[in-house]
């Protein structure tokens, strides 16, 4: 990718990161990356495969849960199912706590996560960001163009029509903050479960 294209890419990624959506629950799904790592850890008996998903301070608790699960799951098929479920819940709870997000239970596999999250996972799986970048670029360009055109249409109002003028001001403020949000997100990295960390979002005061 051309070096000059990276600023635009960062803006796109940051903007989508600040947009409220279903991404906050990606890690707590039964088909999410945390549970998948936990399944591999149990299947191979290698706790290191799951330790990377929790903070160092929670490592001892996770090791203990792993050992208990490995022992109990040997007893019977039913015991294995219950022990595995307990382990998945423990891992996800510790993972979310480490990122400042509440644990609200395991979510079922197959949820509709929208196009961005699957595309991000696919990009990492394939080692290529091309399709992902196109998806993000198309989304931001379409959204920006739509809001720009809507604001521009409100700009041509009769100076004596106060209500029309106020409608333009409202559209203007929304458009400027839309652009500001994209710009600010490009400068500030996203940490943890962004949708649940509202304090990290930029101000929405009127200009």
In the block, which residue shows the tokens 């549970």? Answer: 35
- What is the rounded end-to-end Cα distance, in angstroms, of the chain? 36
Identify the sign of the CA torsion 39, 93, 72, 82: negative
**Tens digits of per-residue pLDDT, 172-191?**
999 999 888 877 866 776 66
* Least reliable range by pLDDT among 70-74, 172-176, 198-202: 198-202
Cα Rg, the chain, nearest whole Å: 23
The Cα 23–Cα 33 span in angstroms is 12
Residue 182 or residue 118, greater confidence: 118
- Band (pLDDT 50/70/90 cuts) for residue 75 is very high
Cβ neighbors of 193 (< 8 A, separation 6 or more) are 24, 27, 96, 99, 100, 101
Looking at residues 156-171, what average pLDDT do you find? 93
Note the pLDDT of residue 202: 40
How does the average pLDDT of the chain come out, rounded?
82
> DSSP letter string over 78-135?
HHHHHHHHHHHHHHHHHHHHHTT-----PBPTT---TTHHHHHHHHHHHT--HHHHHH
> Global pTM?
0.67
> Does the structure show a pLDDT above 90 at 11?
no
By three-state DSSP, how is residue 24 classified? helix
Cβ neighbors of 84 (< 8 A, separation 6 or more) are 39, 42, 69, 73
Give the C-alpha distances (Å, rounded to integers) separating 24 from 13, 18, 160, 203.
15, 11, 47, 21
Among 152, 148, 202, 173, CA closest to 15: 202
Looking at residues 101-115, what average pLDDT do you find? 89
Note the pLDDT of residue 116: 84
């Amino acid at each position: 990718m051309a070096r000059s294209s990276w600023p635009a890419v960062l803006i796109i990624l940051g903007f989508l990161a600040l947009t409220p959506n279903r991404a906050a629950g990606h890690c707590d799904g039964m088909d999410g990356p945390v549970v998948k790592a936990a399944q591999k850890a149990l299947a191979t008996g290698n706790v290191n495969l799951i330790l990377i998903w929790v903070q160092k301070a929670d490592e001892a608790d996770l090791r203990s849960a792993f050992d208990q699960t490995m022992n109990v799951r040997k007893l019977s098929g039913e015991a294995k199912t219950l022990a595995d479920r307990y382990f998945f819940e423990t891992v996800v709870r510790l993972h979310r706590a480490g990122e400042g997000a509440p644990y609200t239970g395991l979510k079922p596999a197959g949820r509709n996560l929208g196009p961005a999250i699957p595309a991000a996972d696919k990009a990492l799986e394939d080692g290529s960001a091309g399709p992902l970048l196109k998806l993000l670029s198309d989304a931001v360009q379409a959204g920006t163009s739509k809001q720009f055109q809507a604001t521009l249409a409100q700009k041509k109002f009769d100076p004596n029509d106060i209500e029309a003028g106020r409608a333009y001001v409202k559209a203007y403020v929304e458009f400027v903050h839309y652009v500001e949000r994209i710009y600010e997100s490009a400068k500030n990295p996203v940490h943890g479960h962004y949708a649940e960390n509202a304090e990290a979002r930029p101000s929405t005061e009127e200009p």
